[in-house]
Structure 1
Amino acid sequence: MVKRLMLTATAAVSAFCATAQSDDIKVKLSGFVKADGWIDTRRNTDGVDGLFTYFPLAPEYDAAGNDLNKVATTNTTALSTRLRVTAAGPDIFGAKANAIVEADFTGTTEVSLLRLRLANLNLTWSRSTLIVGQAWHPLSIPQFLPRTLSLNTGAPFQCFSRNPQVTYIYNAGSGVKLLGSINYQSGYESLGPSGKSSIYLRNAVIPNLDFQVSKTFGRSTIGLTYDFKMLRPNVYNMAPDGKKYQNDNTVSSHAVLGYYNYTSEKLFVIAKQLFGQNLTEFLMQGGYGVSEIDPITGVQQYAPSKGTSILINFSYGTKYRIGGTFGYLSNNGFTKNIVENKDLVYGRALNLKEMIRIAPSFTYAYKNFTLGVEGELNRAYWGTADYSNKGKVANAKAVNGFRFLTSLQYNF
């Protein structure tokens, strides 16, 4: 199916390119074919047929005391194969204009479905840039994504999300850049009473807001990003007598990200530290829960989770490249006590106290061909979330999961 979809997409792009070129719009088709094969020593919370990993699963014991999640699995897939179309045309409002459309085949599990990754228009003036459409979220920082072989690209230790947005970047001079961004959700949505959905953000009316300042000096860049999000989980609640009452309560969350990067011809280093609340749409640990229920109307109030994460990633070399990733995350509970009802808590890995990742890699590159191997050790501490103590995890015990990944990629 992947081959058939690629042929169809290529034919469509070729036809578009032939038309666009005659209208003074230059169109370029690029991408890669990528095949990944791996073996895991333990079952994981994952996606895309196991290609995208999050956490090694907590122990689950059978009647004889055997850990049912301590099971080796293996798979091979080419779902991360990617197509990209870049179009550049005449200036608009005095700005250089270009558009990007990018897709891959990781739309759903079990099915090789063509999925939209990026679709944005970029207008670039002498000192500023406007981005409109689907792009990487400002907390992900696209130019400083960790260089890993794994598709998770450092998740869940760093934010991973692409979303509809309007982003303005201003070059203030002396290496200083300022960014302001209005964001919505599509594909990467918050969790809530109706499952994974963008409706909670839309119901709150106020979009996800981001502000960023960065400074480049030589080959280094330092930056700070602030993120604000407001969700309205329910528009009404049911009272004990079965009557409906409107619920205007929202749950607000904040995140602050600091980062440092060094990039040269051979060496790439990125270090990030994040303090954040309710970051489920970024494929991270956390969420929110009901903190109070009105005994007469049933109207609920909410409290977000708190968490900390650190990510360090490096890559050195050109033809032969060595690299590595270190990640650490800590679950710091919720801002308030949570109602003792598992159906009123919405999140991911809320009984995970902390987790560590160490992932060395080696890559061989020849022209437009690369072959790499990566080992990923994840040590997760699972316990019991005490919602009467702000959801802090008690009695945590460690489990280890190791993945050996081989990746082959041909760029075009």
Structure 2
Amino acid sequence: MKKVILLAMAALLSGSAAFAQEEKPAHFKLYGFIRNYLSADSRAVNAGTEDLYFYMPKGHDMKDGLDLNSGFNWRFVSLTTRLGVDVSGYKWGTMGVSGKVEADFYNLSGSVPVLRLRQAFMKLTWDNSPVALTLGQAWHPMAADMPHMNNLETGAPFNPFNRSPQVTADIDLGSGVTLTASLLYLNHYLPTGPAGKTKDYYKYGLPEAYLGVSYKSSKFLGRLGVDIVNMRPYRTLTDWRVQDASSAKTIEVKSLLTTFSPFVFLQYTSGKFQLRAKSILAQAGEHMNLLSGYGVHAFNEDGTIEYTPMQDWASFVSFSYGKKFQVMGMLGYMKQLGTTQDLTDNNVWMNTSADVHIQQAFRATPTVAWNLGKFTVSLEYNLTAAEFGSGARNARGMWDGDKEWILNHRFICMTKFNF
């Protein structure tokens, strides 16, 4: 019996040693930066917290012949200062696990900046496997490639901007080709609808899906993909098929709004020079901070609803040259193309982050930056012009009245210290 016990203990100890060899500890790397923005505008703007995340200039607000939205305004803030930790090196057998947790202070409680989660994800890889899985909140696959600039909005609404909880599989097909497939949920970039901005339209719909392919060589990077959304704007509604509204009952509505948003991205790098270009044809792309929306095409007799998305074309081209002294620039253009089908009531639920009368816009952002080791100072000029419509919307959601262009001149000075 004693001999059996000794053999069992030896087996247990050898198993524990093998177990210890299978597991490798993780390594942690803290990072972050202190960042200050001093910015000024020539008129009032639609923008995010502290007017830093700039969408569009505001339209005219006339009173006694004065435009109340005209006039110089400025701000100086540090709330985009960032903290993060990268985790790498952990292995369990053939599986490797890495991750990232990242936060900044771009949130306010009253007037006090508070910590906000930006990213929190893990990445799983396996030895001799072409598949990598990303689980958690990370950049949307269509938003990860950004134009060259130092402003906070990084090109929005001419470029998708979205971080979302997701499950993303990247499959290396060899020869520089990668297939990407994602299922995504929403976090704080919300679609609009009959109940305003809320994630409930996604919560009671189907997961957002993305499918794309990338090609990468020593100097070239290209991506092609499509984003697919199936959301549920109405869950219940008073039965529209009953003539007497006072006797109509509330019915359940299961109809979904289905949208397809394809995009293409190109990047070329040679020495200190880099060129990027992206174009997206978005349908109801307000969850990606694009100026888009959707409406109702038909209330059917079978109790279903047919929705129709607003189509929005958004594109940019940008460049960067230099290392210590860096010159950058972006040109962006967006235009609403109307809904895919006629609206039943000429009403569209639009992204309210900017004036809903804007139908097209362009932006130019020349930038210079000095990179002195881990310290950077940059100067940027942002010219944004937006075309405002008036009158009533037509059957495709476009404004039928007179059009007017309104310009804003934004000047930005940024300082950043990386650590």
Is the CA contact 1:340–1:388 (under 8 Å) kept in the aligned structure 2?
no
* Aligned-pair CA distance for 1:370: 0.3
Is the CA contact 2:346–2:396 (under 8 Å) kept in the aligned structure 1?
no
**Structure 1 portions without partners, runs of 5+:** 1-22
Query: Which letter does structure 1 place at the counterpart of 2:173?
Result: A
Q: Determine the structure 2 residue equivalent to 1:170.
A: 171
**Does residue 219 of structure 2 align to residue 212 of structure 1?**
no
**Does residue 118 of structure 2 align to residue 117 of structure 1?**
yes
Deviation sequence 1:131-183 (CA, Å, 0-9, x none): 0000000111x2x3223110000100010000000000011111111100000
Q: Determine the structure 1 residue equivalent to 2:409.
A: 402
Q: Determine the structure 2 residue equivalent to 1:139.
A: 142
SS at match of 2:389: strand
1-structure distance, mates of 2:71, 2:131: 52
Distance 1:90 1:296, change over 3 A: closer
Is the CA contact 1:32–1:409 (under 8 Å) kept in the aligned structure 2?
yes
* Aligned-pair CA distance for 1:301: 3.7
2-structure distance, mates of 1:250, 1:202: 12
Q: Determine the structure 1 residue equivalent to 2:323.
A: 318
> What is the aligned-residue RMSD (CA, Å)?
2.0
2-structure distance, mates of 1:223, 1:378: 27
Deviation sequence 1:303-345 (CA, Å, 0-9, x none): 1110101111111101100000100000111122334476x63
**Structure 2 portions without partners, runs of 5+:** 1-23, 240-244
Is the CA contact 1:175–1:216 (under 8 Å) kept in the aligned structure 2?
yes
List aligned pairs for 1:169-318, cutoff 5 A.
169-204=170-205, 206-239=206-239, 240-241=245-246, 242-293=248-299, 300-318=305-323
* Aligned-pair CA distance for 1:93: 5.5
Q: Percent of pairs identical after alignment?
A: 29
Distance 1:93 1:68, change over 3 A: farther
Distance 1:123 1:296, change over 3 A: closer
- Report the more deviating stretch, 376-385 or 320-329: 376-385
Q: Determine the structure 2 residue equivalent to 1:66.
A: 66
Deviation sequence 1:49-98 (CA, Å, 0-9, x none): 10100011122211x23222122210000011000111124314623321
1-structure distance, mates of 2:93, 2:208: 27
Is the CA contact 2:346–2:393 (under 8 Å) kept in the aligned structure 1?
no
Query: Which letter does structure 1 place at the counterpart of 2:194?
Result: P
Deviation sequence 1:92-139 (CA, Å, 0-9, x none): 462332110000111247430100000000123453311000000011
SS at match of 2:365: strand
* Aligned-pair CA distance for 1:198: 1.4
Q: Determine the structure 2 residue equivalent to 1:380.
A: 386
Distance 1:248 1:81, change over 3 A: same
Give the alignment's TM-score, normalised by structure 2. Answer: 0.87
Deviation sequence 1:199-257 (CA, Å, 0-9, x none): 111211x2000011111233111110111001101111024225211111211111010
Query: Which letter does structure 1 place at the counterpart of 2:54?
Result: T
Q: Determine the structure 1 residue equivalent to 2:9.
A: none
Distance 1:385 1:268, change over 3 A: farther
2-structure distance, mates of 1:346, 1:309: 16
- Report the more deviating stretch, 25-34 or 117-126: 117-126
Is the CA contact 1:352–1:393 (under 8 Å) kept in the aligned structure 2?
no
Q: Determine the structure 2 residue equivalent to 1:41.
A: 42
SS at match of 1:389: coil
List aligned pairs for 1:150-161, cutoff 5 A.
150-161=151-162
> Please, which of 306, 327, 349 is the counterpart of residue 345 of structure 1?
349
Is the CA contact 2:286–2:350 (under 8 Å) kept in the aligned structure 1?
no
1-structure distance, mates of 2:181, 2:302: 43
Q: Determine the structure 1 residue equivalent to 2:3.
A: none
The number of residue pairs the alignment matches comes to 384
Is the CA contact 1:353–1:396 (under 8 Å) kept in the aligned structure 2?
no
Is the CA contact 1:59–1:69 (under 8 Å) kept in the aligned structure 2?
yes
Query: Which letter does structure 2 place at the counterpart of 1:362?
Result: V
Distance 1:368 1:201, change over 3 A: same
2-structure distance, mates of 1:104, 1:265: 32
Is the CA contact 1:288–1:347 (under 8 Å) kept in the aligned structure 2?
no
Query: Which letter does structure 1 place at the counterpart of 2:349?
Result: V
Give structure 1 regions of 4+ aligned residues with deviation exceeding 4 angstroms. Answer: 294-297
SS at match of 1:387: coil
SS at match of 1:372: strand
Distance 1:93 1:236, change over 3 A: farther
1-structure distance, mates of 2:182, 2:306: 28
SS at match of 1:328: strand
Q: Determine the structure 1 residue equivalent to 2:81.
A: 81
Is the CA contact 2:192–2:349 (under 8 Å) kept in the aligned structure 1?
no
2-structure distance, mates of 1:312, 1:108: 33
Return the index of the structure with the highest Cα Rg: 2
Is the CA contact 2:202–2:232 (under 8 Å) kept in the aligned structure 1?
yes
Is the CA contact 2:344–2:395 (under 8 Å) kept in the aligned structure 1?
no
